[in-house]
Structure 1
Amino acid sequence: MSEFWDSITSAQPEPSIRVVIGTAVVALLLIAWRPLWKLTRNVVTIAHEGAHGLIAALVGRQLAGIRLHSDTSGVTVSRGKPTGAGMIAVLLAGYPGPALFGLAAAFTLSRGYAVALLWGLLVALVILLLQIRNLYGLWSVLVFGALVFGITWWGTPAVQSSFAHLLTWFLLLSAPRAVIELQHSRRGGQGRSSDADQLRRLTGVPAVMWVGVFGLISLACLALGVIWSGVLPS
Protein backbone atom coordinates (compact mmCIF):
# COMPACT_ATOMS: atom_id res chain seq x y z
CA MET A 1 0.00 0.00 0.00
CA SER A 2 2.89 2.32 0.79
CA GLU A 3 4.44 1.64 -2.62
CA PHE A 4 1.09 2.25 -4.28
CA TRP A 5 0.67 5.60 -2.53
CA ASP A 6 4.26 6.57 -3.34
CA SER A 7 3.65 5.89 -7.04
CA ILE A 8 0.72 8.33 -6.99
CA THR A 9 2.33 11.10 -4.96
CA SER A 10 5.80 10.92 -6.49
CA ALA A 11 6.75 12.74 -9.66
CA GLN A 12 7.89 10.56 -12.56
CA PRO A 13 10.83 11.39 -14.85
CA GLU A 14 9.94 13.62 -17.79
CA PRO A 15 9.56 11.72 -21.09
CA SER A 16 11.78 12.56 -24.01
CA ILE A 17 10.64 15.17 -26.51
CA ARG A 18 10.38 12.33 -29.02
CA VAL A 19 7.72 10.64 -26.88
CA VAL A 20 5.82 13.90 -26.40
CA ILE A 21 5.75 14.64 -30.14
CA GLY A 22 5.06 11.00 -31.02
CA THR A 23 1.99 10.83 -28.79
CA ALA A 24 0.76 14.11 -30.32
CA VAL A 25 1.06 12.59 -33.81
CA VAL A 26 -0.85 9.48 -32.74
CA ALA A 27 -3.55 11.65 -31.17
CA LEU A 28 -3.86 13.57 -34.44
CA LEU A 29 -4.29 10.30 -36.30
CA LEU A 30 -7.05 9.22 -33.91
CA ILE A 31 -8.83 12.50 -34.61
CA ALA A 32 -8.13 13.06 -38.32
CA TRP A 33 -8.84 9.57 -39.68
CA ARG A 34 -12.61 9.32 -39.87
CA PRO A 35 -12.96 5.54 -39.20
CA LEU A 36 -11.01 5.95 -35.98
CA TRP A 37 -12.70 9.24 -35.10
CA LYS A 38 -16.11 7.53 -35.13
CA LEU A 39 -14.86 5.41 -32.22
CA THR A 40 -12.58 7.80 -30.36
CA ARG A 41 -15.14 10.61 -30.43
CA ASN A 42 -16.95 8.73 -27.66
CA VAL A 43 -14.17 9.90 -25.33
CA VAL A 44 -14.93 13.50 -26.31
CA THR A 45 -18.61 12.92 -25.55
CA ILE A 46 -17.73 11.50 -22.13
CA ALA A 47 -15.66 14.62 -21.37
CA HIS A 48 -18.34 16.92 -22.84
CA GLU A 49 -21.19 15.49 -20.80
CA GLY A 50 -18.96 15.15 -17.75
CA ALA A 51 -18.25 18.89 -17.94
CA HIS A 52 -21.98 19.62 -18.08
CA GLY A 53 -22.54 17.42 -15.04
CA LEU A 54 -19.64 18.87 -13.06
CA ILE A 55 -20.76 22.46 -13.55
CA ALA A 56 -24.38 21.55 -12.85
CA ALA A 57 -23.30 20.15 -9.48
CA LEU A 58 -21.07 23.15 -8.73
CA VAL A 59 -23.84 25.69 -9.38
CA GLY A 60 -26.28 23.80 -7.17
CA ARG A 61 -28.46 22.10 -9.77
CA GLN A 62 -29.72 18.56 -9.13
CA LEU A 63 -28.09 16.19 -11.58
CA ALA A 64 -30.74 13.77 -12.88
CA GLY A 65 -28.59 11.65 -15.15
CA ILE A 66 -26.36 11.44 -18.23
CA ARG A 67 -26.97 9.53 -21.45
CA LEU A 68 -24.37 8.72 -24.10
CA HIS A 69 -25.55 7.57 -27.53
CA SER A 70 -24.03 5.41 -30.25
CA ASP A 71 -23.93 8.37 -32.68
CA THR A 72 -21.51 10.02 -30.18
CA SER A 73 -24.14 12.51 -29.04
CA GLY A 74 -25.13 12.81 -25.41
CA VAL A 75 -27.44 14.59 -23.01
CA THR A 76 -27.07 15.68 -19.41
CA VAL A 77 -30.27 16.34 -17.47
CA SER A 78 -30.29 18.52 -14.39
CA ARG A 79 -33.12 20.02 -12.38
CA GLY A 80 -33.27 23.62 -11.28
CA LYS A 81 -34.08 27.07 -12.55
CA PRO A 82 -34.30 26.88 -16.38
CA THR A 83 -32.78 30.33 -16.82
CA GLY A 84 -30.11 32.46 -15.17
CA ALA A 85 -26.35 32.33 -14.70
CA GLY A 86 -26.33 28.75 -13.44
CA MET A 87 -28.02 27.34 -16.52
CA ILE A 88 -25.83 29.45 -18.78
CA ALA A 89 -22.71 28.10 -17.07
CA VAL A 90 -23.91 24.51 -17.53
CA LEU A 91 -24.55 25.02 -21.25
CA LEU A 92 -21.28 26.88 -21.71
CA ALA A 93 -19.23 24.08 -20.15
CA GLY A 94 -19.81 21.31 -22.68
CA TYR A 95 -17.75 22.09 -25.78
CA PRO A 96 -14.82 23.71 -23.93
CA GLY A 97 -14.92 20.85 -21.40
CA PRO A 98 -12.56 18.43 -23.21
CA ALA A 99 -10.07 21.24 -23.84
CA LEU A 100 -10.16 22.40 -20.22
CA PHE A 101 -9.76 18.83 -18.97
CA GLY A 102 -6.86 18.45 -21.40
CA LEU A 103 -5.29 21.65 -20.12
CA ALA A 104 -5.60 20.46 -16.52
CA ALA A 105 -3.98 17.18 -17.58
CA ALA A 106 -1.17 19.06 -19.36
CA PHE A 107 -0.49 21.06 -16.21
CA THR A 108 -0.39 17.87 -14.13
CA LEU A 109 2.01 16.23 -16.59
CA SER A 110 4.22 19.32 -16.62
CA ARG A 111 4.76 18.67 -12.91
CA GLY A 112 5.59 15.00 -13.57
CA TYR A 113 2.50 13.36 -12.06
CA ALA A 114 1.42 11.02 -14.84
CA VAL A 115 0.34 8.22 -12.49
CA ALA A 116 -1.65 10.60 -10.30
CA LEU A 117 -3.36 11.90 -13.43
CA LEU A 118 -4.44 8.39 -14.48
CA TRP A 119 -5.77 7.48 -11.03
CA GLY A 120 -7.59 10.80 -10.84
CA LEU A 121 -9.18 10.01 -14.21
CA LEU A 122 -10.31 6.62 -12.92
CA VAL A 123 -11.98 8.22 -9.90
CA ALA A 124 -13.74 10.71 -12.17
CA LEU A 125 -14.98 7.88 -14.42
CA VAL A 126 -16.38 5.98 -11.42
CA ILE A 127 -18.28 9.09 -10.31
CA LEU A 128 -19.54 9.61 -13.86
CA LEU A 129 -20.62 5.97 -14.08
CA LEU A 130 -23.02 6.52 -11.18
CA GLN A 131 -24.87 9.12 -13.28
CA ILE A 132 -25.17 7.12 -16.51
CA ARG A 133 -28.77 6.24 -17.36
CA ASN A 134 -28.55 4.12 -20.53
CA LEU A 135 -26.81 0.90 -21.61
CA TYR A 136 -24.66 2.38 -24.35
CA GLY A 137 -23.40 5.05 -21.99
CA LEU A 138 -22.67 2.41 -19.37
CA TRP A 139 -20.77 0.34 -21.93
CA SER A 140 -18.78 3.35 -23.21
CA VAL A 141 -17.61 4.44 -19.78
CA LEU A 142 -16.81 0.88 -18.68
CA VAL A 143 -14.71 0.16 -21.80
CA PHE A 144 -12.80 3.42 -21.50
CA GLY A 145 -12.38 2.92 -17.76
CA ALA A 146 -11.10 -0.63 -18.28
CA LEU A 147 -8.49 0.64 -20.73
CA VAL A 148 -7.32 3.33 -18.33
CA PHE A 149 -7.29 0.90 -15.40
CA GLY A 150 -5.31 -1.73 -17.32
CA ILE A 151 -2.60 0.74 -18.26
CA THR A 152 -2.56 2.31 -14.80
CA TRP A 153 -2.36 -1.01 -12.93
CA TRP A 154 -0.17 -3.14 -15.21
CA GLY A 155 1.67 -0.67 -17.40
CA THR A 156 5.30 0.22 -16.87
CA PRO A 157 6.09 3.82 -15.91
CA ALA A 158 7.07 4.53 -19.52
CA VAL A 159 3.77 3.11 -20.82
CA GLN A 160 1.77 5.04 -18.20
CA SER A 161 3.50 8.29 -19.07
CA SER A 162 3.06 7.77 -22.81
CA PHE A 163 -0.64 6.97 -22.42
CA ALA A 164 -1.18 10.00 -20.18
CA HIS A 165 0.43 12.24 -22.81
CA LEU A 166 -1.58 10.60 -25.60
CA LEU A 167 -4.84 11.17 -23.75
CA THR A 168 -3.89 14.77 -22.95
CA TRP A 169 -3.07 15.52 -26.58
CA PHE A 170 -6.27 13.83 -27.68
CA LEU A 171 -8.43 16.02 -25.44
CA LEU A 172 -6.62 19.20 -26.46
CA LEU A 173 -6.70 18.46 -30.19
CA SER A 174 -10.17 16.96 -30.42
CA ALA A 175 -11.97 19.89 -28.80
CA PRO A 176 -11.50 22.26 -31.79
CA ARG A 177 -12.70 19.57 -34.21
CA ALA A 178 -15.85 19.03 -32.15
CA VAL A 179 -16.55 22.78 -32.35
CA ILE A 180 -16.05 22.75 -36.12
CA GLU A 181 -18.44 19.81 -36.42
CA LEU A 182 -20.99 21.71 -34.36
CA GLN A 183 -20.95 24.65 -36.77
CA HIS A 184 -21.10 22.36 -39.80
CA SER A 185 -24.18 20.63 -38.39
CA ARG A 186 -25.79 24.01 -37.72
CA ARG A 187 -25.11 25.16 -41.28
CA GLY A 188 -26.73 21.97 -42.54
CA GLY A 189 -29.90 22.77 -40.63
CA GLN A 190 -29.18 20.32 -37.83
CA GLY A 191 -28.04 20.92 -34.29
CA ARG A 192 -30.69 23.56 -33.59
CA SER A 193 -31.03 22.21 -30.08
CA SER A 194 -27.26 22.47 -29.56
CA ASP A 195 -25.63 24.15 -26.59
CA ALA A 196 -24.96 27.24 -28.72
CA ASP A 197 -28.59 27.55 -29.77
CA GLN A 198 -29.85 27.04 -26.24
CA LEU A 199 -27.46 29.76 -25.10
CA ARG A 200 -28.86 32.04 -27.81
CA ARG A 201 -32.36 31.52 -26.48
CA LEU A 202 -31.24 32.24 -22.92
CA THR A 203 -29.04 35.25 -23.60
CA GLY A 204 -30.09 36.73 -26.93
CA VAL A 205 -26.47 36.47 -28.15
CA PRO A 206 -26.31 34.84 -31.62
CA ALA A 207 -25.48 31.15 -31.59
CA VAL A 208 -22.58 31.60 -33.99
CA MET A 209 -20.91 33.89 -31.44
CA TRP A 210 -21.22 31.17 -28.81
CA VAL A 211 -19.64 28.73 -31.26
CA GLY A 212 -16.83 31.26 -31.62
CA VAL A 213 -16.43 31.39 -27.83
CA PHE A 214 -16.22 27.58 -27.72
CA GLY A 215 -13.57 27.66 -30.44
CA LEU A 216 -11.49 30.40 -28.85
CA ILE A 217 -11.42 28.64 -25.48
CA SER A 218 -10.44 25.35 -27.14
CA LEU A 219 -7.64 26.95 -29.16
CA ALA A 220 -6.34 28.88 -26.15
CA CYS A 221 -6.19 25.66 -24.13
CA LEU A 222 -4.38 23.92 -26.98
CA ALA A 223 -1.81 26.72 -27.27
CA LEU A 224 -1.10 26.73 -23.55
CA GLY A 225 -0.99 22.93 -23.49
CA VAL A 226 1.64 22.95 -26.24
CA ILE A 227 3.77 25.35 -24.20
CA TRP A 228 3.43 23.26 -21.04
CA SER A 229 4.29 20.10 -22.96
CA GLY A 230 7.79 21.42 -23.63
CA VAL A 231 7.41 21.22 -27.42
CA LEU A 232 7.78 25.00 -27.55
CA PRO A 233 9.74 27.18 -25.15
CA SER A 234 7.64 28.79 -22.40
Structure 2
Amino acid sequence: MNKWWKTIAFIVGAAILTRWIPFSSFFRNVDTLVHEFGHAIVTLLLSGKVQYIHLFADHSGVTYSSVAHSWRFIPISLAGYTISALFTVLLFYLYSRGKQQAGLITLSVLALVNVLFFVRNSFGVMWCIGFIVLSAAIYFVPWRWLRDFYYLLVAFICLVESVLGPLFLIVASIQQPTQAGDASNLSAATFIPAVFWSLLFTAVAIACARVAMGLFFNANRRPPAGTRPAFGWSKHARRT
Protein backbone atom coordinates (compact mmCIF):
# COMPACT_ATOMS: atom_id res chain seq x y z
CA MET A 1 0.00 0.00 0.00
CA ASN A 2 2.92 2.33 0.71
CA LYS A 3 3.95 2.15 -2.96
CA TRP A 4 0.48 3.24 -4.02
CA TRP A 5 0.68 6.32 -1.82
CA LYS A 6 4.12 7.09 -3.21
CA THR A 7 2.69 6.86 -6.73
CA ILE A 8 -0.13 9.25 -5.83
CA ALA A 9 2.27 11.67 -4.15
CA PHE A 10 4.56 11.61 -7.18
CA ILE A 11 1.63 12.32 -9.51
CA VAL A 12 0.61 15.30 -7.36
CA GLY A 13 4.18 16.60 -7.41
CA ALA A 14 4.46 16.08 -11.17
CA ALA A 15 1.15 17.89 -11.71
CA ILE A 16 2.40 20.92 -9.78
CA LEU A 17 5.81 21.00 -11.46
CA THR A 18 4.55 20.55 -15.02
CA ARG A 19 2.11 23.44 -14.55
CA TRP A 20 5.06 25.73 -13.78
CA ILE A 21 6.92 24.98 -17.00
CA PRO A 22 6.21 27.57 -19.73
CA PHE A 23 4.08 26.33 -22.63
CA SER A 24 3.33 23.04 -20.83
CA SER A 25 -0.36 23.66 -21.51
CA PHE A 26 0.32 23.02 -25.20
CA PHE A 27 1.32 19.42 -24.48
CA ARG A 28 -1.79 18.58 -22.45
CA ASN A 29 -3.58 17.96 -25.71
CA VAL A 30 -1.32 14.97 -26.36
CA ASP A 31 -3.32 13.01 -23.78
CA THR A 32 -6.55 14.30 -25.31
CA LEU A 33 -5.42 13.14 -28.74
CA VAL A 34 -4.53 9.67 -27.43
CA HIS A 35 -7.86 9.46 -25.61
CA GLU A 36 -9.91 10.33 -28.68
CA PHE A 37 -7.77 8.14 -30.93
CA GLY A 38 -8.51 5.27 -28.53
CA HIS A 39 -12.21 5.74 -29.16
CA ALA A 40 -11.61 5.94 -32.90
CA ILE A 41 -9.40 2.87 -33.24
CA VAL A 42 -11.77 0.65 -31.22
CA THR A 43 -14.67 1.93 -33.32
CA LEU A 44 -12.86 0.82 -36.46
CA LEU A 45 -11.94 -2.54 -34.91
CA LEU A 46 -15.64 -3.11 -34.22
CA SER A 47 -16.54 -2.31 -37.86
CA GLY A 48 -17.91 1.09 -36.97
CA LYS A 49 -17.41 4.39 -38.75
CA VAL A 50 -15.43 7.32 -37.36
CA GLN A 51 -16.86 10.56 -38.65
CA TYR A 52 -14.35 12.94 -37.10
CA ILE A 53 -12.39 13.99 -34.02
CA HIS A 54 -12.38 17.50 -32.63
CA LEU A 55 -9.70 18.82 -30.27
CA PHE A 56 -10.28 22.04 -28.34
CA ALA A 57 -8.10 24.70 -26.73
CA ASP A 58 -9.40 23.83 -23.24
CA HIS A 59 -7.80 20.36 -23.63
CA SER A 60 -11.13 18.63 -24.17
CA GLY A 61 -12.02 16.58 -27.22
CA VAL A 62 -14.81 14.59 -28.80
CA THR A 63 -15.04 11.69 -31.22
CA TYR A 64 -18.11 11.35 -33.41
CA SER A 65 -18.67 7.78 -34.56
CA SER A 66 -21.39 5.30 -35.40
CA VAL A 67 -21.70 1.53 -34.97
CA ALA A 68 -24.32 -1.01 -36.00
CA HIS A 69 -25.10 -2.44 -32.55
CA SER A 70 -25.53 -0.46 -29.35
CA TRP A 71 -23.51 -2.91 -27.22
CA ARG A 72 -20.41 -1.88 -29.14
CA PHE A 73 -20.57 1.51 -27.48
CA ILE A 74 -19.41 -0.20 -24.27
CA PRO A 75 -15.88 -1.13 -25.43
CA ILE A 76 -15.69 2.11 -27.41
CA SER A 77 -16.50 4.18 -24.32
CA LEU A 78 -14.06 2.14 -22.23
CA ALA A 79 -11.24 2.69 -24.73
CA GLY A 80 -10.53 6.40 -24.22
CA TYR A 81 -9.28 6.54 -20.64
CA THR A 82 -7.91 3.01 -20.75
CA ILE A 83 -5.75 3.52 -23.83
CA SER A 84 -4.65 6.92 -22.53
CA ALA A 85 -3.38 5.27 -19.34
CA LEU A 86 -1.68 2.42 -21.22
CA PHE A 87 0.00 4.90 -23.55
CA THR A 88 1.82 6.48 -20.62
CA VAL A 89 3.23 3.04 -19.79
CA LEU A 90 4.47 2.78 -23.39
CA LEU A 91 6.19 6.17 -23.18
CA PHE A 92 8.01 5.28 -19.99
CA TYR A 93 8.85 1.81 -21.26
CA LEU A 94 10.58 3.37 -24.27
CA TYR A 95 12.40 5.74 -21.91
CA SER A 96 13.52 2.82 -19.75
CA ARG A 97 15.01 1.19 -22.85
CA GLY A 98 16.79 4.37 -23.92
CA LYS A 99 14.54 4.73 -26.98
CA GLN A 100 13.39 8.30 -26.61
CA GLN A 101 13.82 8.93 -30.33
CA ALA A 102 11.54 5.99 -31.10
CA GLY A 103 9.08 7.56 -28.69
CA LEU A 104 9.26 10.89 -30.53
CA ILE A 105 8.61 9.08 -33.80
CA THR A 106 5.62 7.30 -32.23
CA LEU A 107 4.17 10.58 -31.00
CA SER A 108 4.68 12.28 -34.35
CA VAL A 109 3.17 9.40 -36.33
CA LEU A 110 0.19 9.36 -33.99
CA ALA A 111 -0.44 13.06 -34.59
CA LEU A 112 0.10 12.64 -38.34
CA VAL A 113 -2.36 9.75 -38.64
CA ASN A 114 -4.97 11.71 -36.73
CA VAL A 115 -4.59 14.91 -38.73
CA LEU A 116 -4.79 12.95 -42.00
CA PHE A 117 -7.76 10.76 -41.17
CA PHE A 118 -9.68 11.94 -38.12
CA VAL A 119 -9.11 15.46 -36.76
CA ARG A 120 -11.23 17.96 -38.63
CA ASN A 121 -11.69 21.17 -36.64
CA SER A 122 -9.33 24.08 -37.24
CA PHE A 123 -7.78 24.18 -33.77
CA GLY A 124 -7.21 20.42 -33.78
CA VAL A 125 -5.56 20.46 -37.20
CA MET A 126 -3.28 23.37 -36.33
CA TRP A 127 -2.34 21.81 -33.00
CA CYS A 128 -1.43 18.48 -34.63
CA ILE A 129 0.69 20.19 -37.28
CA GLY A 130 2.45 22.32 -34.66
CA PHE A 131 3.16 19.29 -32.50
CA ILE A 132 4.53 17.30 -35.44
CA VAL A 133 6.83 20.14 -36.51
CA LEU A 134 8.08 20.72 -32.96
CA SER A 135 8.67 17.01 -32.27
CA ALA A 136 10.49 16.59 -35.59
CA ALA A 137 12.73 19.55 -34.78
CA ILE A 138 13.54 18.13 -31.34
CA TYR A 139 14.29 14.74 -32.91
CA PHE A 140 17.09 16.22 -35.01
CA VAL A 141 18.68 18.55 -32.46
CA PRO A 142 22.25 17.52 -31.57
CA TRP A 143 21.72 17.97 -27.82
CA ARG A 144 20.58 14.80 -26.15
CA TRP A 145 19.70 16.61 -22.92
CA LEU A 146 17.13 18.69 -24.82
CA ARG A 147 15.57 15.60 -26.43
CA ASP A 148 15.40 13.88 -23.06
CA PHE A 149 13.86 16.94 -21.41
CA TYR A 150 11.25 17.31 -24.16
CA TYR A 151 10.41 13.61 -24.14
CA LEU A 152 10.06 13.42 -20.35
CA LEU A 153 8.01 16.62 -20.30
CA VAL A 154 5.51 15.09 -22.72
CA ALA A 155 5.58 11.74 -20.91
CA PHE A 156 4.97 13.24 -17.47
CA ILE A 157 2.21 15.53 -18.73
CA CYS A 158 0.51 12.51 -20.32
CA LEU A 159 0.90 10.64 -17.04
CA VAL A 160 -0.61 13.47 -15.02
CA GLU A 161 -3.48 14.05 -17.44
CA SER A 162 -4.29 10.33 -17.67
CA VAL A 163 -4.91 10.33 -13.90
CA LEU A 164 -6.49 13.77 -13.44
CA GLY A 165 -9.03 13.14 -16.21
CA PRO A 166 -10.76 10.23 -14.42
CA LEU A 167 -10.53 12.07 -11.08
CA PHE A 168 -12.43 15.03 -12.53
CA LEU A 169 -14.86 12.53 -14.04
CA ILE A 170 -15.68 11.23 -10.55
CA VAL A 171 -16.73 14.72 -9.50
CA ALA A 172 -18.81 15.15 -12.66
CA SER A 173 -20.41 11.74 -12.14
CA ILE A 174 -21.56 12.75 -8.68
CA GLN A 175 -22.69 16.27 -9.50
CA GLN A 176 -24.14 15.68 -12.99
CA PRO A 177 -24.34 11.94 -13.75
CA THR A 178 -25.79 12.52 -17.22
CA GLN A 179 -23.02 14.96 -18.18
CA ALA A 180 -19.99 12.83 -17.28
CA GLY A 181 -18.79 11.93 -20.76
CA ASP A 182 -17.69 8.33 -21.19
CA ALA A 183 -18.98 7.39 -17.72
CA SER A 184 -22.45 8.64 -18.67
CA ASN A 185 -22.37 6.72 -21.94
CA LEU A 186 -21.43 3.54 -20.12
CA SER A 187 -24.11 4.13 -17.50
CA ALA A 188 -26.75 4.54 -20.21
CA ALA A 189 -25.61 1.34 -21.92
CA THR A 190 -25.26 -0.83 -18.81
CA PHE A 191 -27.54 0.81 -16.19
CA ILE A 192 -24.55 0.85 -13.82
CA PRO A 193 -24.07 4.28 -12.15
CA ALA A 194 -21.64 6.63 -13.87
CA VAL A 195 -19.58 7.02 -10.70
CA PHE A 196 -18.70 3.31 -10.83
CA TRP A 197 -17.16 3.73 -14.27
CA SER A 198 -15.33 6.87 -13.16
CA LEU A 199 -13.82 4.98 -10.23
CA LEU A 200 -12.85 2.12 -12.54
CA PHE A 201 -11.10 4.52 -14.93
CA THR A 202 -9.27 6.09 -11.99
CA ALA A 203 -8.12 2.72 -10.67
CA VAL A 204 -6.78 1.73 -14.09
CA ALA A 205 -5.01 5.08 -14.49
CA ILE A 206 -3.31 4.89 -11.08
CA ALA A 207 -2.27 1.28 -11.69
CA CYS A 208 -0.70 2.26 -15.02
CA ALA A 209 0.94 5.27 -13.37
CA ARG A 210 2.52 2.97 -10.81
CA VAL A 211 3.95 0.77 -13.58
CA ALA A 212 5.19 3.86 -15.45
CA MET A 213 6.89 5.22 -12.34
CA GLY A 214 8.57 1.86 -11.77
CA LEU A 215 9.96 1.96 -15.29
CA PHE A 216 11.18 5.53 -14.80
CA PHE A 217 13.00 4.87 -11.53
CA ASN A 218 14.48 1.59 -12.73
CA ALA A 219 15.84 3.34 -15.81
CA ASN A 220 17.50 6.01 -13.67
CA ARG A 221 19.14 3.36 -11.48
CA ARG A 222 20.92 1.74 -14.41
CA PRO A 223 24.68 2.31 -14.76
CA PRO A 224 25.75 4.74 -17.52
CA ALA A 225 26.29 3.27 -20.96
CA GLY A 226 29.76 1.82 -21.45
CA THR A 227 30.43 1.19 -17.75
CA ARG A 228 30.82 -2.19 -16.14
CA PRO A 229 28.29 -3.16 -13.47
CA ALA A 230 29.51 -3.42 -9.89
CA PHE A 231 30.09 -6.82 -8.31
CA GLY A 232 26.84 -8.57 -7.59
CA TRP A 233 24.84 -6.80 -10.35
CA SER A 234 22.01 -9.02 -11.52
CA LYS A 235 22.70 -11.01 -14.64
CA HIS A 236 19.28 -9.97 -15.85
CA ALA A 237 20.15 -6.27 -15.84
CA ARG A 238 19.38 -4.55 -19.11
CA ARG A 239 22.25 -3.52 -21.33
CA THR A 240 22.33 -0.07 -22.80
Which TM-score band applies after superposition, normalised by the shorter structure?
0.7 to 0.9
Query: 1:84-125: per-residue Cα shift (whole Å, max 9, x none)?
Result: 2x3211111112332211111111222221111111211111
Aligned residue among 109, 112, 137 for 1:126: 112
Q: Residue type matched to 1:228 in 2?
A: L
Match of 2:33 in 1: 46
1:81 aligned counterpart, secondary structure: coil
Query: 1:160-208: per-residue Cα shift (whole Å, max 9, x none)?
Result: 2232222222212221111122222344437615100100111122111
Displacement of 1:57 in angstroms is 2.2
- Unaligned segments of structure 2, at least 5 residues: 1-11, 222-236
Distance 1:44 1:120, change over 3 A: closer
Displacement of 1:225 in angstroms is 0.6
Would you say 1:114 and 2:108 are equivalent positions? no
CA distance in structure 2 between the partners assigned to 1:143 and 1:116 by the alignment: 19
* Structure ranking higher on relative contact order (CA contacts 8 Å, 6+ apart): 1
Displacement of 1:155 in angstroms is 4.8
- Unaligned segments of structure 1, at least 5 residues: 1-23
1:214 aligned counterpart, secondary structure: helix
Retained in 2: the 8 A contact 1:27–1:167?
A: no
Alignment of 1:60-209 (within 5 A): 60-84=47-71, 86-130=72-116, 131-189=118-176, 192=179, 194-209=181-196
CA distance in structure 2 between the partners assigned to 1:143 and 1:79 by the alignment: 29
1:64 aligned counterpart, secondary structure: strand
Aligned residue among 12, 18, 36 for 1:30: 18
CA distance in structure 1 between the partners assigned to 2:144 and 2:70 by the alignment: 47
Q: Report percent identity of matched pairs.
A: 27
Distance 1:70 1:159, change over 3 A: closer
Retained in 2: the 8 A contact 1:103–1:168?
A: no
Distance 1:112 1:132, change over 3 A: same
Q: Residue type matched to 2:140 in 1?
A: W
Match of 1:11 in 2: none
Retained in 1: the 8 A contact 2:169–2:180?
A: no
CA distance in structure 2 between the partners assigned to 1:150 and 1:38 by the alignment: 19
Aligned residue among 206, 211, 223 for 1:219: 206
Root mean square deviation of aligned Cα: 2.8
1:63 aligned counterpart, secondary structure: strand
Retained in 1: the 8 A contact 2:173–2:194?
A: no
TM-score normalised according to structure 2 size: 0.76
Retained in 2: the 8 A contact 1:30–1:36?
A: no
1:67 aligned counterpart, secondary structure: strand
Distance 1:135 1:94, change over 3 A: same
